[in-house]
Amino acid sequence: MAMIWGLISGRYPISTGEVLTILFDWIAGNAASQIETMVITNVRLPRILLAALVGAALALCGVALQALFRNPLVSPKVLGLSSGSALGGVIALFLGASGLWLMGAVFISAFAALFAVVAIGHIAGRTMLSIVLAGIVIDALFSAGISLVQYVADPETSLPAIVFWLMGSFSTATWDKFSQSWLFLAVGIILLNQMRFRITALAMGDDEARAFGINITRSRMTIFTLISILVGASVFVAGVVGWVGLVIPHIARLLVGESQRHLYPTTIVLGATFMMITDTVARSLTSAEIPLGILTAIIGAPIFVWLLCTRKRIRA
């Protein structure tokens, strides 16, 4: 329903019947060269598909990290991955890069942040607390790097592009960008979902995880690597989008409880749905597109406050 609403909505409205006809003809290879067909197949469809993948990826990263750290307030930002990925993208935009160069810069920066967090956590004591503290430090360091690039960027050329990209948007979504990123997002989502048992075991403690025969170091590195790939690919596609990995897991828990078997798939579906709806609102509400980061904060913050108050009343 969210996908169909996204296809029919926008500054060029198209009826549901026309959308379904266009999609069937396009799949069958009989699409006519009409403006409605171009709008649906070349503009809205790749954008909606990327929004679904990014929403699912960020929400899944959030629920995995919250389980791993046993902290409901944890999100991808806790490992410095959001700022790490953003710094690479900002540097690439500052240098005028795009496409695969932008993707490469985002991934290199994300893995650099991950390596720094793991290295500091390893030296500091190999505990989850040390990793969290290392993530806070790296996040602050990379955020300072982003501010520095913005400070030296040309206000007439590169700075507006950097600022708009940092606020998040799917306005640059094309089939080329979809072909460059969908494999990272889809495979990362599948593999991280398949590791939910290991995540649950690691959340119980190192001794319990060893009792299940789990290699703690290798499993944590695999999980962190998958999360880095998902966050990096999401930042490449849409820029920095917050609150999805924090709020969506809590809504999923209200619906299906703490059972990992149901929680992870529910989180994936809710994350994809939330991002498609938010992106549709962002491009349809006003004549000028609203940055996603603003909308997700406006929507996510009140929802999170409501969840906190609701849980407090339930426990009382």
Opening angle at CA 44, ends 42 and 50, nearest 5: 100
Over 60: is that where the pLDDT of 253 sits?
yes
Which pLDDT tens digit goes with each residue over 121-160? 878 776 777 888 888 889 899 999 999 999 999 888 889 8
CB 86 within 8 A of CB 105: no
Instruction: Look at the chain and report how many structural domains it folds into.
Output: 1
Write down the pLDDT at residue 314.
47
In total, the chain counts a number of residues equal to 316
Alpha carbon distance 227, 45 (integer Å): 26
* In contact, 255 and 204? CB cutoff 8 Å: no
pLDDT at 31: 67
* Alpha-helix residue ranges (DSSP H) falling in 195-291: 196-204, 206-211, 216-238, 244-256, 260-284
Rounded Cα distance between 92 and 231, Å, is: 17
pTM for this one? 0.91
CA-CA distances (angstroms) from residue 77 to 32, 74, 139, 183, 315?
45, 8, 7, 23, 28
Q: Which of 34-38, 274-278, 306-310 has the highest mean pLDDT?
A: 274-278
- Rounded to an integer, the average pLDDT of 250-263 is 89
Domain of 115?
A: 2-315
Give 196-249 pLDDT, tens digit per residue.
Answer: 999 988 888 878 888 888 888 889 889 989 999 999 999 999 988 888 988 999
Which residues contact residue 250 at a Cβ distance below 8 angstroms, ignoring those fewer than 6 apart? 72, 304, 307
Identify the pLDDT of residue 313. Answer: 53
CA–CA separation, 156 vs 170, rounded Å?
23
**HSE-up (13 A, CA, CB side) for residue 5:** 13
Exposure letters 47-84 (e unless 16+ CB within 10 A, then b): bbbbbbbbbbbbbbbbbbbbbbbeeeebbbbbbbbbbb
Separation between Cα atoms, residue 156 and residue 270, nearest integer Å:
39
Task: Indicate the average pLDDT of the chain.
Answer: 88
Q: How many helices (H) and strands (E) does the chain have?
A: 15, 0
pLDDT of residue 275: 96
pLDDT bucket at 14, cuts 50 / 70 / 90: confident
> DSSP secondary-structure letter at 43?
I
CATH number of the domain enclosing 49: 1.10.3470.10
Q: 48 by DSSP, 3-state: which?
A: helix
Q: Is the pLDDT of residue 26 over 80?
A: yes
Residue 73, amino acid: L
Distances from the Cα of 265 to the Cα of 72, 127, 195, 261, 300, angstroms? 18, 29, 12, 8, 20
Q: What is the pLDDT of residues 164-176, one digit of tens each?
A: 888 999 988 999 9
